[in-house]
Structure 1
């Protein structure tokens, strides 16, 4: 099989976005547009990827890292000028080069593969990815001759009245014979309304040399959306959200209200999971079978175990075991590790802590920097006091311990196995196993004193 290369055009600032953030770094479902493009095109098994950067070059390089090589387009003089910046890396190589735009996040790897295969099967020098647009305004038109062969591409601003009526549009994605591409680029001029070097001019240049030029018409017009402003960005987000949700539903996931459920593209969800409205699942989260998420729950970069239920809560960068019940209104912060059959109730915050199997923190508690064993009961209002203003310390609660309500555990401290801490205690020393620890002021009752207080108020 011929070698395959890709050139990703990502140099434009995107002034219509009206943003400090460079256009291709604007996210669609949590992932920058250019990353979507790179992920999809790399799935076609490329030999080399070159990204053309300009505005925001350092940020784009930082984000894509070693997944691509980079060339700089210091001045933005058109798409042809952008592609020729890759000459130093690709010029003399044999094979097929795909040119894609970094602001087209919806095109799938299957469409890229279909384009490659159509191009190579027909042994063309150039193949344009085209589509039939319901409203082609603003798009370059694909002009065909009487034999239905591609003749040229005309930009909207340069098109005459007849050409403007053409519905077949250029999506901005192409396959080229690599050597033919760079040879033709030497002949591209900027004699047009924009004064730019159009990559599209290569089509006419190749035709004039009797080279074979074709087009692959994708039936999926919505994939070809180029994002140039915030309106198109929202449209891309909506389209991708629908696509992802439908894929999950076809794979056995119940999504009660797909229009109000947001699942990022790298999320893995197993069969028979139920997701309620208002849920947002992001990053590289994994949701295992029979889990129930939501309503109104945010999960980011978490592993959620089988048959676990999370309601009206937030969980980030954590591992949650099987048959766990969380919420409502709990906050699972980074580096939490929740064991099987644990319970975390309303207004509980867990941070950088391990909670063992069958342990319970039912309500109104903070557990931070703690190692909590199995079968532990943490009463309402308990706090692991982990921070002295400079350093953070560990609280250890061993198996089968019982922590009474409104207790303060001043770290570093250990509560031994099977021990009890009386309600209202402030624990500053280790508690041995199988002990009862009481650390609170002695109660004093002053009989009749309430009447004096009431009389004082009258005065």
Structure 2
């Protein structure tokens, strides 16, 4: 498909009441503008131009790399926003899609349909329209006596009869690029808002004798724009239900789909089960037969097959097949649970590998550590990896047994098959198959407690 796209992302979004431009706000962990850019990519659009303006320093990093960035110095309306792309698309001749960067629910299928309809009819423009029960605030589609699109009139410029129309402009278009840029020179700001309306191009093209067509949206939710926090929540709910429905159809179980939030890039295999209050974001992947939740949040995390992840926060972590985690565990970036490994209750693991079949069952912190296979870490054990300035590594060999309440002060190596007695503070390397313990001698003073109580009573 030979097509280009312009993504309008220059607006401030004052109704968001935020220091961030509206297109930076997120739906299911993904910025609004990225939903639109990615939909265009999936549709097969060859070139994308992003128009930035308000707080461009926040918007630009989101679209840099895979789009051409053009600045709109002054926000003078949608026609002006498109016009600033003229030089960036000077060598382009074909279908040019104009997309709103604050409409995250637009689909690649709809973008393709816009292009196909324009090209089949050799139209100057195809506008995506929607039927609204309450059309207030939207531009109305005005048709002639033969039912053909004549023009679009904005709410503030509409007559009473025009305001009663219910077919509305979605803000998505596919233009003949040459016809568009030729018509933009004829657009003026003689309207209630004193802006240059892109919608005026339709009447200009029609007057030039080129077909102007409308494509009714198959799902009005696709056209939902985000201009307020309320609309952001509404868009999130639509996206949540759309994504969850697709996973349910593909063989994922959800106890309550309304209590599961899944990002658009998440991959789930068949027979995954998701319990309530589960959040899967970023590039998270979950293998078949794994159980996630309840009360779990995984971001950019890979979970293998047959894993159990209970009440866990995991960020950039990896769990191999059969690993278990939680409840109330925290896997920080670089945490890797190998096949059959366990991170148990109130365990935090950071930048560490827990070897095959090894266990960190209770109340422990493991950081910058390599744990071999079949190791048991006793409750309350800590790898002391930070001296206030530098991080140091701990290595624990295969089959080692670390007693409860052990402090391992890095850098330190504990040999394979060794045993560390409970309550030890290990500051030196431990040889394989050795016993290491550091305890002061236990003392007992007979009758001391009773004597103290008697003294307190006398006082």
* Correspondence 1:432 to 2:431: yes
Aligned to 2:20: 21
* Correspondence 1:6 to 2:5: yes
Structure 1 consecutive aligned stretches of length 4 or more whose deviation exceeds 4 Å: none
Superposed, 1:178-257 pairs within 5 Å as 178-257=177-256
Aligned to 1:376: 375
1:385 deviates by: 1.1
1:61 deviates by: 1.3
Equivalent-residue separation in structure 2 for 1:225 and 1:361 (angstroms): 47
- Residue by residue over 1:67-108, the C-alpha shift from the partner in whole angstroms, topping out at 9 and shown as x without a partner, is 111111111111011110001122452111001111111101
User: Is residue 139–residue 153 contact of structure 2 (8 Å, CA) maintained in 1?
Assistant: yes
Aligned to 2:57: 58
Equivalent-residue separation in structure 1 for 2:407 and 2:47 (angstroms): 58
* Correspondence 1:364 to 2:367: no
Aligned to 1:315: 314
1:65 deviates by: 1.3
Equivalent-residue separation in structure 1 for 2:76 and 2:414 (angstroms): 69
- Residue by residue over 1:247-282, the C-alpha shift from the partner in whole angstroms, topping out at 9 and shown as x without a partner, is 111111001111111111111111100000001111
* Correspondence 1:288 to 2:287: yes
User: Is residue 143–residue 153 contact of structure 1 (8 Å, CA) maintained in 2?
Assistant: yes
- Residue by residue over 1:101-153, the C-alpha shift from the partner in whole angstroms, topping out at 9 and shown as x without a partner, is 11111101011111111111111011111111122111101111121111111
Equivalent-residue separation in structure 2 for 1:177 and 1:166 (angstroms): 27
Aligned to 1:151: 150
Aligned to 2:267: 268
Equivalent-residue separation in structure 1 for 2:187 and 2:16 (angstroms): 29
User: Is residue 91–residue 178 contact of structure 1 (8 Å, CA) maintained in 2?
Assistant: no
Aligned to 1:72: 71
Aligned to 2:402: 403
Equivalent-residue separation in structure 2 for 1:185 and 1:325 (angstroms): 60
User: Is residue 44–residue 113 contact of structure 1 (8 Å, CA) maintained in 2?
Assistant: yes
Equivalent-residue separation in structure 1 for 2:42 and 2:322 (angstroms): 36
TM-score by length of 2: 0.98
* Correspondence 1:324 to 2:323: yes
1:357 deviates by: 0.5
Equivalent-residue separation in structure 2 for 1:143 and 1:384 (angstroms): 71
* Correspondence 1:394 to 2:393: yes
SS at match of 2:305: coil
Equivalent-residue separation in structure 2 for 1:158 and 1:121 (angstroms): 33
User: Is residue 125–residue 175 contact of structure 2 (8 Å, CA) maintained in 1?
Assistant: yes
User: Is residue 91–residue 182 contact of structure 1 (8 Å, CA) maintained in 2?
Assistant: no
Equivalent-residue separation in structure 1 for 2:455 and 2:282 (angstroms): 61
* Count of matched residue positions in the alignment of Structure 1 and Structure 2: 458
- Residue by residue over 1:403-436, the C-alpha shift from the partner in whole angstroms, topping out at 9 and shown as x without a partner, is 1111111111111110111111111111111111
Equivalent-residue separation in structure 1 for 2:61 and 2:440 (angstroms): 57
SS at match of 1:81: helix
User: Is residue 20–residue 58 contact of structure 2 (8 Å, CA) maintained in 1?
Assistant: no
SS at match of 1:450: helix
Aligned to 1:415: 414
Aligned to 2:99: 100
Equivalent-residue separation in structure 1 for 2:303 and 2:432 (angstroms): 32
Aligned to 2:85: 86
1:13 deviates by: 0.6
- Residue by residue over 1:286-326, the C-alpha shift from the partner in whole angstroms, topping out at 9 and shown as x without a partner, is 00100000000111110001010011111111111111121
Equivalent-residue separation in structure 1 for 2:286 and 2:414 (angstroms): 33
Per mean C-alpha deviation after superposition, the further-off stretch among 272-281 and 143-152 is: 143-152
User: Is residue 50–residue 63 contact of structure 2 (8 Å, CA) maintained in 1?
Assistant: no
Equivalent-residue separation in structure 2 for 1:35 and 1:328 (angstroms): 34
Equivalent-residue separation in structure 2 for 1:389 and 1:11 (angstroms): 44
Gaps of 5+ in 1: none
Equivalent-residue separation in structure 1 for 2:225 and 2:365 (angstroms): 47
SS at match of 2:48: strand
Equivalent-residue separation in structure 2 for 1:221 and 1:163 (angstroms): 21
